[in-house]
């Protein structure tokens, strides 16, 4: 048992070494994109329903680091700002399949040809979905009354704190639990699954294995980055790389929660085209990959035990694990504060301008430091902030939020 645990820990560290520096580099690129790409770009490019705008939506969506749940609020916002349904669908399908962080990690674990094929697949499937919807529905932009006006944001300078807040406190923080689950799953597979297990199963066949993987992947939630170590471990145990393509496309692109919300927000035709495009597109891409591309896949995720790693790889792994521990400690403190504050007063607010978990962290730090609250939990996607404490001073809370640059929405009850 002790030997198995040691092998498990070695595999876990090997995965962190392969993942860390590339994932952090992807976060850096994503943060720079967020800070420097104009917000009005989406509205100008995606308003009219056309094949050209469908392509633009996929082009914008592919590099963005949003998961299948995180992409939904973004798509709904695009719809409100005048984007056509076809453009929204193209963005919805292409975005969660990959991103700059996922591309880096895929290349590290599964080779650059594999990573670029997955990137191209996300782009093509997104375009296919949007074009199919455009042909079937001849969708139009949202009605004038439904479109929100957007004021351009002038940015005089960009600070390292802004970059850190978005890349680490927002993107990484929202992914860390899934990353942790993916790391543990990959290490368990590498440690306890035999080399021949999947090689003698249905999942060794590109076509049949892809269809089987499709039925498993559609209802599950996995993010594009955290699913890569799992896929790499499965490939190392005999699963066809083509089947991994399906898992890495359909898994991040769909899940039960997303399907229900999409149906409610966009209707039946939109939802059917969404699921059909992901299903058919992922299987076709898998078969094409098996037929055309031959790449050397990893034999075993932990084979480089004992090999010396470069200082950059070690630094990336240490930083990556350090952030995971930091986020785990942060959530544990929040959970403990919630337990201790069960008898306290709690209020929920609509807060305008709270765009990410970095904003929540800034609000939490100020309110807790000034002893205005004992616990602050935020949901930036819905502009919701839950404040807990003893005898909350609502006037001081409002003033503190205003000092940070946030205003209460129409439903704010302070």
SS3 371: coil
Q: Judge if 96 and 220 occupy the same domain.
A: yes
pLDDT of residue 126: 92
Q: Judge if 234 and 350 occupy the same domain.
A: no
pLDDT of residue 127: 94
- Quickly tell me which residue has 């400690």 as its tokens: 329
Q: Could you tell me the residue range of the domain that residue 218 belongs to?
A: 2-141+161-292
Residue 29 counted as domain residue: yes
Q: Judge if 349 and 208 occupy the same domain.
A: no
The answer to whether 16 touches 323, Cβ cutoff 8 Å, is: no
Q: Judge if 262 and 360 occupy the same domain.
A: no
Q: Judge if 105 and 192 occupy the same domain.
A: yes
Rounded CA-CA distance 357/167 in Å is 10
CA angle 375, 381, 383 (to 5 degrees): 60
Rounded CA-CA distance 250/5 in Å is 32
Q: Residues 281, 33, 115, 321: what is their CA dihedral angle, to the nearest 10 degrees?
A: -120
Rounded CA-CA distance 58/271 in Å is 17
Residue 52 counted as domain residue: yes
Rounded CA-CA distance 31/45 in Å is 21
Q: Judge if 259 and 350 occupy the same domain.
A: no
Give the relative orientation of helices 85-94 and 112-137 as an angle to the nearest 10 degrees: 160
Residue 210 counted as domain residue: yes
pLDDT of residue 372: 80
Q: Judge if 55 and 188 occupy the same domain.
A: yes
pLDDT of residue 132: 92
Write the CA distances from 93 to 191, 222, 318, integer angstroms. Answer: 34, 15, 34
Residue 260 counted as domain residue: yes
Dihedrals phi, psi of 411, to nearest 5 degrees: -95, 5
Write the CA distances from 189 to 206, 259, 376, integer angstroms. Answer: 20, 29, 37
Residue 410: its H or E element: none
- Two structure tokens written together for 346: 């709690």
DSSP3 helix / strand / coil % (the chain, rounded to 5): 65, 5, 30
Tally of CB atoms within 10 A around 354: 27
pLDDT of residue 41: 63
Residue 146 counted as domain residue: no
Q: Judge if 135 and 49 occupy the same domain.
A: yes
Q: Judge if 272 and 374 occupy the same domain.
A: no
Query: What is the DSSP secondary-structure string of 17-35?
Result: HHHHHHHHHHHHHHHHHHH
- Can you list the pairs that 145-151 forms with residues at least 24 positions away whose Cβ atoms lie under 8 Å? 146/79, 146/80, 147/80, 147/81, 147/82, 148/80, 148/81, 150/39, 150/40, 150/43, 150/81
Question: Could you say which of 253, 270, 292 is where a domain stops?
Answer: 292
**pLDDT in single tens digits along all 414 residues of the chain:** 678 888 888 888 887 887 777 778 767 766 776 677 665 666 666 666 778 888 888 888 888 766 655 566 667 667 766 678 888 899 888 888 777 777 888 887 888 888 889 889 999 999 999 999 988 886 544 444 444 444 444 454 557 877 887 778 777 887 788 778 777 877 887 788 765 666 667 777 778 888 888 887 777 666 677 778 888 888 877 788 888 888 888 877 776 666 776 887 788 899 999 999 999 999 999 889 888 776 665 554 544 444 556 888 888 889 989 999 998 998 887 777 666 655 567 788 888 766 666 677 778 877 877 778 877 877 776 778 888 877 777 788 888 888 877 777 655 455
Q: Give the number of domains in the chain.
A: 2
The answer to whether 112 touches 296, Cβ cutoff 8 Å, is: no
Q: Judge if 167 and 106 occupy the same domain.
A: yes
Q: Judge if 226 and 123 occupy the same domain.
A: yes
Residue 61 counted as domain residue: yes
Q: Judge if 391 and 242 occupy the same domain.
A: no
Residue 90 counted as domain residue: yes
Query: In this structure, what CATH number is given to the domain that contains residue 388?
Result: 3.30.70.100
Residue 147 counted as domain residue: no
Tally of CB atoms within 10 A around 342: 8
């Amino acid at each position: 048992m002790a030997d198995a645990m040691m092998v498990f820990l070695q595999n876990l560290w090997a995965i962190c070494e392969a993942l860390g520096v590339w994932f952090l580099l992807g976060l850096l690129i994503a943060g720079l994109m967020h800070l420097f790409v104009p917000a009005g770009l989406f509205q100008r490019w995606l308003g009219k329903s056309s094949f050209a705008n469908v392509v633009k939506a996929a082009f914008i969506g592919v590099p963005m680091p949003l998961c299948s749940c995180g992409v939904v609020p973004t798509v709904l916002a695009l719809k409100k700002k005048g984007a056509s349904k076809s453009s929204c669908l193209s963005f919805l399908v292409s975005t969660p399949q990959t991103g700059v962080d996922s591309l880096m990690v895929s290349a590290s674990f599964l080779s650059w040809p594999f990573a670029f094929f997955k990137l191209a697949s996300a782009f093509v499937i997104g375009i296919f979905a949007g074009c199919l919807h455009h042909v079937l529905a001849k969708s139009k932009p949202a009605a004038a009354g439904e479109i929100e006006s957007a004021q351009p944001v002038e940015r005089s300078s960009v600070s390292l704190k802004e970059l850190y807040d978005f890349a680490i406190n927002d993107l990484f923080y929202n992914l860390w639990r899934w990353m942790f689950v993916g790391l543990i799953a990959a290490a368990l597979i590498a440690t306890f699954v035999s080399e021949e297990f999947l090689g003698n199963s249905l999942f060794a066949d590109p076509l049949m294995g892809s269809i089987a993987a499709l039925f498993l992947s559609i209802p599950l939630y996995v993010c594009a980055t955290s699913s890569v170590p799992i896929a790499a471990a499965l490939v190392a145990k005999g699963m066809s790389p083509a089947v991994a393509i399906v898992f890495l496309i359909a898994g991040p692109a769909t899940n039960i929660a997303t399907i229900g919300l999409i149906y409610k927000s966009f209707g039946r035709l939109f939802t059917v085209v969404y699921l059909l495009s992901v299903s058919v597109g992922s299987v076709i891409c898998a078969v094409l990959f098996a037929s055309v591309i031959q790449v050397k896949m990893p034999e075993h995720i932990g084979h480089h035990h004992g090999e010396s790693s470069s200082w950059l790889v070690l630094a990336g792994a240490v930083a990556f694990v350090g952030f995971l521990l930091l986020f785990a400690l942060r959530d544990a403190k929040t959970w403990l504060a919630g337990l201790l504050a069960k008898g306290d007063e709690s209020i929920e607010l609509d807060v305008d301008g709270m765009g990410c978990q970095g904003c929540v962290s800034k609000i939490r730090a100020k309110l807790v430091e000034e002893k205005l609250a004992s616990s602050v939990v935020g949901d930036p996607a819905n502009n919701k902030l839950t404040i807990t404490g003893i005898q909350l001073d609502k006037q001081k809370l409002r003033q503190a939020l205003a000092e940070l640059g946030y205003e209460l929405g129409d439903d704010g009850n302070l």
